[in-house]
Structure 1
Amino acid sequence: MRYSIVLLSLVAIIAATVVPMISAACINNNLVRKEIRQLTPAELTKYINAVTLARRALPRPGPTQYDTFARIHAMQGYFIHSGANFLPWHRYYLRQYELLLQSVINDPTLTVPYWDWTLDYQNPSASVIFTDPYFGGNGGSASCVTNGKLGQWRPLYNWAGNASAHCLKRSFGEGMSRYPSPATLQTLISGSATYANLATNIEIGPHNLVHSSIGGDMKEAISPNDALFFSHHANVDRLWANWQDANPTLAGTYNGKNITGQRVGLTDILHGFPGITVSKVMKASTMGYCYSATTASAAARSAQTLDDESEEPLPNWPPVSAEFMASKGIDPKVQAEVTARINNIIDALNDANGF
């Protein structure tokens, strides 16, 4: 049986019946975050120029606006991961980044593009986003990135948030060969019965895999040093927004625990953002943006070839090192549960395709 044909059919069925391809809010919302390969040349240039301007040194000595913004994530790192507040905190943080970029080029129409990494699941390192017109590729000597419109620069802060200027680093790892297929991800998201399930499935599963597989700065608390961070997290936020659209009775729910084991609530304050409660970020549309669908044209530019003669099954989820789990505050039991859940989905897809 030809795997890719069956897989694409399954993806089409799931997308059509479970997760909306685009939020209804986009009908009346002019700020639409697109998949990065959907951007026109002018839109891509505008985004690159905005990031470049934010990275320029201010007239006085000190960090750039971009450096300062990246450091916020490093300083809050412990409190904003491995817990229910992961999604709302990063939604707000990403929106503030978008507003920063709009301000530096004086253009309120600019949006942060998302990176749909399922388009590249067969061979992520071959994705067009890792080429010179976009983010640049893997690091070379000392893991330093030496190409890419958004890859060549020297961040100021290290993983601890201390001043320590260095080249932007990437070090591709084993996980680069095991990104989730569209069907795997859609099944994982649509099978999340509560907000707490969703947050855990996304963060501990594909979110962490992308960070760890790219390595370098992306593997550390200072991961926003790499502009790829924001397109990655825009996709994470898109998954939450799509789940909310698909589950209107659950869209406003917020449950589970934070990393310290405390139960969460809508009145919780987002760490590092005084006065901003979770309730204020529960709807993307009220924050002024929405997401486009991933189109066939974007898929065509993904640098991936779906071989309709392929007889290879989807590989199982890669193991997660004890070191990485410790650095992110991940409970090994939770990691094992999410890994098993994803592998069960992969096994079912492989069985359905005759493997």
Structure 2
Amino acid sequence: MASISCIITTNLSSSFPRPFPRKHPKISLNSNAPKRHNTISCASSSSNEDGHKNPLPSSENISDRKIDRRNVLLGLGGLYGAYTFDPFALAAPVPAPDVTKCSRATISFSVDNVPYSCCPPLYGTISDYEVPSFTRLNVRPAAHKVSKSYIKKYEAAIKKMKELPCDDPRNFYQQANVHCAYCNGAYQLAGQPYDVHSSWLFFPFHRWYLYFFERILQSLINDPTFALPYWNWDNPPGMYFPDIFDDKSSPLYDEFRNADHRGGYLMDLAYAGQDLAAEPKQIVNNNLAIMYRQMVTNAPCPLLFFGAPLRADGYGPGGFANGTIVSVPHNSVHRWVGDPRTSHNEDMGNFYSAAKDPVFYCHHSNVDRMWTIWKTLGGKRMDIADPDYLNSEFLFYDENKNLVKVKIGDCLDNEKLGYTFQDMPTPWKKFKLTRKRTKLLIKSAKSTPSTETVLPATLTKILTFSVARPATSRTEADKEDMEELLNLGLEYDDTKYIRFDVFLNEDEDVILFELDRAEFVSSFANLPHVHEGHGEGEGDAPTTTTWRLPITEVLENLGIEGEDTVVVTLVPKCEGEFMNITKAEIELVNCVD
């Protein structure tokens, strides 16, 4: 069968990329990989006298690290300097990549090269794509609600795609390579490896990607009404791995997945590598709280939701930044599905291999749905109007093997692309994070040490400090004009996995695993990300960034808008060898794109 010779997996012994692998390289599995855990811990941690699991960092070992500043940041909300770019600076939209200069890709979170070429085959010339007109909308169904006849049709389409010749750009594994090329540095932008994830390109790239993938499937089964399913992980009945992808005899199955998360295992949308020891009701509430924080509280402004601007000359002075959904749950779901027995958490758990698992497209169909829903939530939640954003371009092969160029401005409305989504409940929209603290703080806000007294500090234990606010008791008009942001200065070794949570009006006795509380603000996590060829010069310094968190709604819900200082508590969950909090301040920012 043709599909056998087209399967692409990890083969770290390969020294040079080939146009396409001729045989099936093997992923080595670690049979001793850890199974399901009941607590969150860091293997490299040591316990301090307070009983917390923490590393023992030092300034010496940080300066010795070989660090790539382009690490992947996960965070529940937050804006990493995106407001600091100069809107009047000379720039240009990101052009379509030059496929003739496509080169070796790097495996995410490692120094290893992808052992095959992720570059597309070249057929004909590039043409501008014209979106066809549609007389009816196709409906993308929720994966847990599909019928047997739908499953049969979906399986037939994927089977046909896998059986296409290996050098056919519509072949399933060639389609998987599209994600690898755009996300693992095979293309260059402004002389640097190009990755769509940590910028405002994330949503439109993946929308176009799924659009063409879907049209190829339609053409292969001669059914223009076929639509991809979406994994409804924002709704409790959908917070499990979809059954349609778990049949080992099906072309929708992928062998490289976390076996512990099969068979009706409830997912954690903030998954950080260890399963949460909590009752199912608590996990569901945490998930709903995360969705509310990501879609509502932490994304009142376009750049917070979409991510940092990326133009033809690269990132602005504020650097890169993930949008809220990109960080969590997008990255968390990838990690939750990926196989911990493999070297790099393949398939879903690594960007280069993620699209080799058919569930990738189901996952991203729901991510795409989040973009559509977010724009209905009111306020300033609208698409970015910057011409450099709207005119940025991507290349894809269409269902006829034509290499076409598309613009972001043509994909802002999913209905203009011919599809909508099956209506399903969105309980997170009205989910209320309630005040759970019933006792007084150990110290009042006024008696809690100030940020100047506590910081800078290494996050080896729970840190609590007070931060002065620039204004109190703001009117509704004030809040409409200006968003109140908590800015945390971070300096860290980004070769390590680091995670911590942020709370307001809490202190050292905070209940660690309850995120469905009004005091919870956000969560930071860093996935290690080192590229081959880095480590010289600027790579020797620790990564520094400012993490910006909207807190206007949190202050309202806690009833502390009239306070001139707020108590901030940082709770370490999992750390590398260095996480230093350098500063904390609150500012008012105009919420514009």
Q: Which residue of 2 aligns with 1:277?
A: 407
List alignment gaps of at least 5 residues for structure 2. 1-134, 184-193, 262-271, 277-282, 307-322, 339-345, 397-402, 427-512, 532-542, 559-593
Within 2, Cα distance between the matches of 1:194 and 1:39?
Answer: 35
Letter of the 2:300 partner, please give it. A
Q: Which residue of 2 aligns with 1:161?
A: none
CA RMSD of the aligned region, Å? Answer: 3.6
Q: Which has the higher strand share?
A: 2
Identity %: 22
Q: In 2 relative to 1, CA 190–254 (structure 1 residues): closer, same or farther, beyond 3 Å?
A: farther
Within 2, Cα distance between the matches of 1:34 and 1:175?
Answer: 30
Within 2, Cα distance between the matches of 1:270 and 1:294?
Answer: 31
Q: How does 1:142-181 map to 2 (within 5 A)?
A: 147=248, 149-152=250-253, 168-171=255-258, 174=273, 177=276, 181=287
Within 2, Cα distance between the matches of 1:224 and 1:106?
Answer: 23
Within 2, Cα distance between the matches of 1:30 and 1:289?
Answer: 5
Letter of the 1:267 partner, please give it. N
Q: Which of the residues 176, 180, 186 maps onto 1:70? A: 176
Contact kept? 2:231, 2:365, Cα under 8 Å: yes
Within 2, Cα distance between the matches of 1:106 and 1:228?
Answer: 22
Residues 1:228 and 2:329 are matched in the alignment: no
Within 2, Cα distance between the matches of 1:320 and 1:96?
Answer: 32
Q: How does 1:301-320 map to 2 (within 5 A)?
A: 313-314=514-515, 320=525
Q: Which of the residues 198, 203, 211 maps onto 1:87? A: 203
Q: In 2 relative to 1, CA 295–242 (structure 1 residues): closer, same or farther, beyond 3 Å?
A: closer
Deviation readout 1:69-99 (Å, 9 max, x if unpaired): 1111101114211111000000000111110
Letter of the 1:70 partner, please give it. A
* TM-score of the two chains, using structure 1 as the length reference: 0.62
Q: Which residue of 2 aligns with 1:105?
A: 221
Contact kept? 2:234, 2:288, Cα under 8 Å: yes
Within 1, Cα distance between the matches of 2:326 and 2:217?
Answer: 26
Letter of the 1:75 partner, please give it. A
Q: In 2 relative to 1, CA 184–148 (structure 1 residues): closer, same or farther, beyond 3 Å?
A: farther
Deviation readout 1:4-26 (Å, 9 max, x if unpaired): xxxxxxxxxxxxxxxxxxxxxxx
Within 2, Cα distance between the matches of 1:232 and 1:242?
Answer: 16
**How far apart are 1:45 and its partner, in Å?**
1.8
Contact kept? 1:29, 1:290, Cα under 8 Å: no
Contact kept? 1:115, 1:234, Cα under 8 Å: yes
Q: In 2 relative to 1, CA 128–276 (structure 1 residues): closer, same or farther, beyond 3 Å?
A: closer
- Structure of higher RCO (CA pairs closer than 8 Å, 6+ residues apart): 1
Q: How does 1:204-219 map to 2 (within 5 A)?
A: 204-215=327-338, 216-219=346-349
Q: Which of the residues 293, 318, 329 maps onto 2:423? A: 293
Structure possessing the higher radius of gyration over alpha carbons: 2
Contact kept? 2:161, 2:172, Cα under 8 Å: yes
Q: Which residue of 2 aligns with 1:135?
A: 245
List alignment gaps of at least 5 residues for structure 1. 1-27, 137-145, 154-167, 256-262, 297-311, 349-355
Contact kept? 1:80, 1:271, Cα under 8 Å: no
Within 2, Cα distance between the matches of 1:213 and 1:242?
Answer: 24
Contact kept? 1:79, 1:271, Cα under 8 Å: no
**How far apart are 1:320 and its partner, in Å?**
3.4
**How far apart are 1:118 and its partner, in Å?**
2.8
Deviation readout 1:297-345 (Å, 9 max, x if unpaired): xxxxxxxxxxxxxxx844888773542x557xxx8747x657x98xx79
**How far apart are 1:151 and its partner, in Å?**
4.6
Deviation readout 1:194-219 (Å, 9 max, x if unpaired): 22211210101210111112222112
SS, match of residue 365 in structure 2: helix
Q: How does 1:188-199 map to 2 (within 5 A)?
A: 188-191=294-297, 192-199=299-306
Q: How many residues align?
A: 260
Letter of the 2:332 partner, please give it. L
Within 2, Cα distance between the matches of 1:96 and 1:152?
Answer: 21
Q: In 2 relative to 1, CA 244–148 (structure 1 residues): closer, same or farther, beyond 3 Å?
A: farther
Q: In 2 relative to 1, CA 254–274 (structure 1 residues): closer, same or farther, beyond 3 Å?
A: farther
Contact kept? 2:289, 2:515, Cα under 8 Å: no
